[in-house]
């Protein structure tokens, strides 16, 4: 779509005309009513320049019996609006002695959603708008309407005006034989003046413009490039660069699932994720305070706090935690033996610092007791028996991550002695 150089509208020269999708649904519903022998004739109407006959031919190929082309061109076509089309439709309905007018609920170019309602008002006919189901019952029409929050069912008398909604039906594809037959069907040409319709519009289009172009984004290769881009795009903010091994450790090997909140008081939180390295430069942008307090959170847990002073030097309150990764859960021996002295489950971890661990058996938390000992990286079961068979798990946690590993344990049971 191209806007005219004088900004009075869009360029339509050489543009292929096609039927509005909602009007396709309206034509399909009219043809279906004829196939059910509920109506005698289907007449397709289009208002516009010579190219509008393409739209009428499509309707004829779908099953309409004949067409009427109301020829409107030049300045009249450019100012053609719902009111002018409604006047034409009302005049044609009287001339053709129509009993039912079905239109699409709205056009997809201007989305006015007014033509059906105005046509009904000019004819003083009842209307069923936004129809998703239509049933003819004698001289009445039952219409199920799409409304906000649900459906509304109404009954109206004929003659009437209906507007088709998206769920009314699925339009058929015109077959090649029907397309060939459509070329032989009649299309009458009339002028608005022949119908006694004045197309003078009371609306004036002041200006048509292309939407403003969005500024293209940019890709950066490194954190340093990102910091530089932030600095260039936030000229109204003071910036402080924080260089710290402690701060970097918080972010070392961080993954997308390890997002954290960097809260700059008094501005608010900033989401940080997927930064990695041994010496990360983090730019903090702020306003409204000369020495903002920066707090690093994982969820509701404060992990690090520092104040940016005039020298922009951070003071990390406590060390960060590395992400827990690459955990395995093993047993020793492979199977538990009923009556054995002990059975051990142990986890191995290639990366991370564990602040808290929880052992569970069949979903139940375990505590140290005469039967269970949780020590270091191990869970020891004393005197295992057949009731110890089931699913064991260990959950490892620190402020930045958690990981749970499961292990099914089988207990080899002793044979019960036979009683004779």
Non-local (6+) Cβ contacts of 26 within 8 A are: 102, 103, 104, 162, 163, 164
Distance CA 142, CA 158 (A): 11
Distance CA 249, CA 351 (A): 13
Confidence of residue 71 (pLDDT cuts 50, 70, 90): very high
Q: What angle do the packed helices 82-96 and 115-123 form, to 10 degrees? A: 50
CA distances from residue 131 to 105, 153, 154, 187 in whole angstroms, order as listed: 8, 9, 10, 28
**What pLDDT score was predicted for residue 355?**
82
pLDDT tens digits, one per residue of 9-59: 888 777 777 899 999 999 999 999 999 999 999 999 999 998 889 999 999
Tokens of residue 98, six digits: 């129509």
Rounded to the nearest integer, the mean pLDDT of the chain is 79
> Which is more confident, 134 or 255?
134
pLDDT tens digits, one per residue of 169-205: 999 988 999 999 999 999 999 999 999 999 988 888 8
Confidence of residue 63 (pLDDT cuts 50, 70, 90): very high
Cα torsion at 101, 104, 105, 111 (round to 10°)? -130
What is the DSSP code string of 145-196?
EEETTEEEEEEEESSEEEEE-TTS--PPPPPHHHHHHHTTS-EEEE-GGGGT
Confidence of residue 279 (pLDDT cuts 50, 70, 90): very low
- 19 within 8 A of 28, measured Cβ to Cβ: no
Among 42-56, 113-127, 253-267, 323-337, the minimum mean pLDDT is found in 253-267
Task: Set out the domains of the chain in order of their start, with CATH numbers.
Answer: 21-195 (3.40.50.620), 257-318 (no CATH), 325-412 (2.60.40.10)
For the chain, give the percent of residues with pLDDT over 90: 44
**What pLDDT score was predicted for residue 278?**
38
């Amino acid at each position: 779509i191209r806007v005219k150089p004088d900004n009075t509208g869009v360029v339509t020269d050489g543009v292929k005309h096609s039927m509005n999708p909602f009007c396709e649904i309206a034509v399909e519903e009219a043809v279906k009513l004829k196939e059910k022998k509920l109506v005698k004739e289907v007449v397709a109407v289009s208002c516009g320049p010579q190219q509008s006959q393409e739209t009428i031919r499509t309707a004829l190929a779908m099953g309409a019996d004949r067409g009427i082309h109301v020829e409107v061109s030049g300045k009249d076509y450019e100012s053609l609006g719902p009111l002018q089309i409604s006047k034409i439709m009302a005049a044609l309905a009287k001339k053709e002695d129509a009993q039912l007018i079905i239109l699409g609920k709205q056009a997809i170019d201007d989305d006015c959603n007014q033509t059906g309602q105005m046509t009904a008002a000019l004819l003083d006919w009842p209307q069923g708008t936004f129809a998703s189901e239509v049933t003819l019952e004698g001289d009445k029409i039952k219409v199920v309407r799409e409304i906000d929050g649900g459906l509304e069912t109404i009954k109206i008398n004929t003659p009437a005006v209906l507007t088709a909604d998206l769920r009314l039906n699925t339009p058929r594809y015109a077959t090649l034989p029907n397309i060939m037959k459509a070329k032989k069907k009649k299309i009458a040409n009339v002028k608005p003046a022949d119908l006694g319709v004045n197309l003078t519009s009371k609306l004036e289009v002041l200006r048509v413009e292309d939407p403003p172009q969005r500024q293209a984004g940019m890709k950066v290769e490194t954190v340093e490039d990102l910091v530089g881009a932030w600095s260039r795009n936030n000229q109204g903010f003071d910036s402080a660069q924080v260089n710290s091994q402690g701060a970097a450790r918080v972010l070392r090997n961080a993954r997308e699932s390890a997002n954290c909140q960097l809260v700059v008081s008094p501005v608010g939180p900033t989401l940080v994720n997927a930064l990695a390295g041994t010496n990360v430069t983090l730019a903090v942008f702020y306003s409204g305070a000369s020495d903002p307090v920066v707090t690093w959170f994982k969820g509701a847990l404060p992990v690090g706090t520092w104040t940016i002073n005039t020298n922009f030097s951070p003071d990390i309150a406590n060390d960060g935690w590395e992400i827990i990764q690459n955990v395995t859960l093993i047993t020793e021996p492979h199977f538990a033996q009923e009556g054995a002295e002990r059975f051990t489950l142990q986890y191995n971890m290639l990366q991370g610092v564990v602040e808290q661990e929880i052992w569970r058996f069949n979903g139940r938390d375990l505590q140290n007791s005469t039967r269970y000992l949780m020590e270091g990286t191990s869970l020891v079961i004393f005197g295992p028996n057949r009731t110890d068979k089931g699913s064991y798990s260990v959950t490892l946690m620190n402020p930045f991550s958690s990981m749970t590993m499961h292990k099914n344990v089988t207990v080899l049971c002793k044979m019960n002695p036979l009683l004779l």
